[in-house]
Amino acid sequence: MRSLVHSLLVTALMIWSAVADLRYVATLEQDGRAVDASHIEFVKTPPLRHGRHGRHASSRRDANAKDNISYSDNWCGVSHRSTPSDPVSNIFGYFTVPDLKLRPGIPAPQFAAAWIGVDGAKCNSTMLQAGVTTVVNANGGQSASAWWEWFPEASYSIKGLTVKPGDWMSINITIKDERTARVVVTNAQRGYAITLALTEGPKLCRLDTEWILEDFYEKNAQVAFATFSDLWFLDVAATTVAGKTIGVDGAAMVHMKNETGSVLCWPEQWDSSNFVVLSGSG
Ligand SMILES: *[C@@H]1O[C@H](CO)[C@@H](O)[C@H](O)[C@H]1NC(C)=O
Ligand SMILES: *[C@@H]1O[C@H](CO)[C@@H](O)[C@H](O)[C@H]1NC(C)=O
Ligand SMILES: *[C@@H]1O[C@H](CO)[C@@H](O)[C@H](O)[C@H]1NC(C)=O
Ligand SMILES: *[C@@H]1O[C@H](CO)[C@@H](O)[C@H](O)[C@H]1NC(C)=O
């Protein structure tokens, strides 16, 4: 029995050393039990600095709406800031893997990425984030994959775990200190959870929290942005060191506008911890 437990632990625990100092240990659970993680591959990709780079537009408070609306050219969703005296210690949320359709009039393949992260705004030198990217090809076929990134050091696509458009995922990021964090990527539908214990990461400020759908940049250009089915973020919450909960109430509701002013996606609040991201049809 003891040796069985021992071998389970050994196979469940894989250690990788990333560039520079950042290190990560990954463990995998299936239906709550530790399982062999050796079939999981972390494919290094150039850090994309998912989200929040590019032109930032004005913000306005709409007197008739409870939304605090601002605009971005590359993402839509919800963003909320804590204070340096009360840093963020956890961020969580469920969301569905983007389920895409080709946007007429622009070339395939087309994309969208949904993710949850900390920093990257007020503190733009670093950002810790995890989520999924879906791609839709010319024939309408889709493929999706999960990834995590600690900008600017490393970004990894997680290979070997099934992710399908419409699956319910959750991301749980716990920050122990500015260079140590734990990221849990769960596919609630398929019963697996991969935990990444990260150490020696780029120093976080632990200020901004965000739940985002993104038209990300690759090689300095935005990828073609698909249309998508209503994408819910549920049970979203961030917690601070002092125990404060940050959610959708009082957050910035960010709408994505393209160069000619069309709103391509926007969030609508349901309540303090749930919102939906809607797709412009054009
Ligand atoms: C951070 O923001 C500053 C000021 O807006 C900008 O000059 C700089 O290029 C940004 N850095 C990154 C890594 O985006
Ligand atoms: C997120 O992870 C932390 C640390 O393991 C845990 O305490 C917390 O309950 C998790 N949150 C959710 C919503 O599962
Ligand atoms: C609106 O959101 C911004 C963050 O972008 C925040 O600084 C501001 O306090 C919010 N305003 C209100 C009235 O909620
Ligand atoms: C902005 O989006 C609208 C609606 O999809 C589209 O007609 C227009 O061509 C887009 N503009 C740019 C510059 O992509």
Give Cβ neighbours of residue 45 (< 8 Å, ≥ 6 apart): 147, 155, 156, 157
Please report whether residue 18 resides in a domain: no
Domain that holds residue 213: 43-172+203-279
Indicate the number of domains in the chain: 1
Centre of ligand 3 to C-alpha 251, Å, is 6
pLDDT at 186: 98
Give the active site residue among 149, 214, 218, 259: 214
Ligand 2: atom nearest CA of 92 is: 13
Structural domain contains residue 28: no
Question: What is the Å distance from ligand 4's center to 224 Cα?
Answer: 11
CATH number, domain of 140, equals: 2.60.120.700
In sequence order, the 6+-apart residues with CB closer than 8 A to the CB of 112 are 98, 100, 133, 134, 213, 214, 215, 225, 226, 228
Q: What is the pLDDT along the chain (282 residues), one digit of tens a residue?
A: 333 333 333 334 445 544 468 999 999 999 999 999 999 999 998 776 555 444 444 555 544 445 689 999 999 999 999 999 999 999 999 999 999 999 999 999 999 999 999 999 889 899 999 999 999 999 999 999 999 999 998 889 999 999 999 999 999 999 999 999 999 999 999 999 999 999 999 999 999 999 999 999 888 889 999 999 999 999 999 999 999 999 999 999 999 999 999 999 999 999 999 999 999 986
32 within domain boundaries: no
250 within some domain: yes
Rounded to the nearest angstrom, the distance between the alpha carbon of 124 and the centre of ligand 1 is 6
- Indicate if ligand 4 lies below 6 Å from the C-beta of 124: no
Residue 53 lies in a domain: yes
* Residue nearest atom 1 in ligand 2 by C-alpha distance: 172
Q: Rounded distance, CA 170 to CA 184, Å?
A: 8
CB neighbours (10 Å) of residue 160? 14
pTM: 0.89
